[in-house]
Amino acid sequence: MLALRMPWPLPALVAWACAWLIFVALQRAVPPVAALLAACLLGTAASVLGDSWWRRGLIAAGFPLSLALLGAASLPTWAWLVPLALLLLVYPLNAWRDAPLFPTPHHALQSLASQAPLPLGARVLDAGSGVGDGLKALRHAYPAAQLEGIEWSWPLRLLCALRCPWARVRRADMWAEDWSPYRMVYLFQRPESMARAAAKAQAELAPGAWLVSLEFAVPGVLPCAQLRAPGGRVVWLYRLPLNRLEA
C-alpha cells in the first residue's frame, strides 16, 4: 500500500534503480543474459506500481531501454525481446482492457456481510483476482463462503493460488465465464468496465445475488447500499435484478 501512494514518477525511478543494482551485482557471477533476465524480472514485477498501461509498460521497459542506450552490455539481439515477453506473460493482450493490478485493502470489505448477508457455503467469485488480495478481504467478510477467483494471467493466477490455498483459483477470462452459480461477484475493475459487468450480472446472476464493486459505481444503476471502506474508498452494493435509474 505504501508503494501505491508514491507519486509518479517515483515508482518508475525506484524500479529502474533496483533493476540496475541487480544487474550490476549479478554480472560478476552469472552470464550477461542471466543478469539481464533477473533485472527484467524485477522491472516487470514492479510494473504493478503503474496506475495505467503506459506507465506499467514504461516501468517494465525502462531498464532494458537505458541499458541499450548506454551500451553497458554485449548481448545477442534476441535478448532484448526478454522484457517484452515477460510483460506479455504477466499482462496478456486480451486483459489489457481490464483493470490495472491494484490490490484490495485487507479490511475494505469488513462490513460487507452486514449489508449483504449470504447463506453458509455460498459461492463467491472474485472476478479478476490478481494476486489474491480481494479473496483475502472476502474471506475476512465471509469465512464460511466458498471463495473462487478467476485470473487470466497465469503467473498472477499461480501467485494467487499460493497465497490463497483455501480458495479455488482458476485461469480463465472473467468475461467469458458463467457467473450464474455465484451468490456474489466481487470486482475491483475500472470505470469503463462497470457497464459491461452490470450487463453480464443482469443476464447471468440469479435474483437476490449480489454484484459488489470497490471504488467504481455502475452508471445508471441505483445501488442497494454504499460502504465507506478504511482509507475513504467506497464499496458499491447491487442486488439483482438491478434497479435502473429513471432517465
Q: Do 7 and 63 fall into the same domain?
A: yes
The CA-based angle 193-173-194, given to 5 degrees, is 10
Task: Among 31-35, 86-90, 136-140, 164-168, name the one with the lowest average pLDDT.
Answer: 86-90
Q: What is the mean pLDDT of residues 18-34?
A: 84
In a domain, 107, yes or no: no
Q: What pLDDT is attached to residue 104?
A: 87
Total number of domains in the chain: 2
52 pLDDT above the threshold of 70: no
Q: Where are the alpha helices (DSSP H) in the chain?
A: 10-27, 32-46, 53-70, 82-90, 112-115, 133-141, 154-163, 194-204
Distance CA 231, CA 247 (A): 33
Distance CA 25, CA 85 (A): 23
Q: Which residue has the higher pLDDT, 91 or 226?
A: 226
Range of the domain at 36: 3-91
Residue 53 makes CB contacts below 8 A (sequence gap 6+) with: 91, 96, 100
Q: What is the mean pLDDT of residues 104-125?
A: 93
Q: Do 79 and 118 fall into the same domain?
A: no
In a domain, 97, yes or no: no
The radius of gyration of the chain's CA atoms, rounded to the nearest angstrom, is: 20
CB count within 10 Å of CB 233 equals 15
Q: Give residue 139's pLDDT band: very low, low, confident or very high (50, 70, 90).
A: very high
50 pLDDT above the threshold of 90: no
Q: What pLDDT is attached to residue 51?
A: 67
Q: What pLDDT is attached to residue 3?
A: 45
Q: What is the mean pLDDT of residues 99-126?
A: 87
Q: What pLDDT is attached to residue 1?
A: 43
Please state, rounded to an integer, the average pLDDT across all residues of the chain.
83
Q: Which three cell numbers stand for residue 153?
A: 494471467
In a domain, 73, yes or no: yes
What pTM, to 2 d.p., does this model score?
0.66
Q: Which residue has the higher pLDDT, 14 or 50?
A: 14
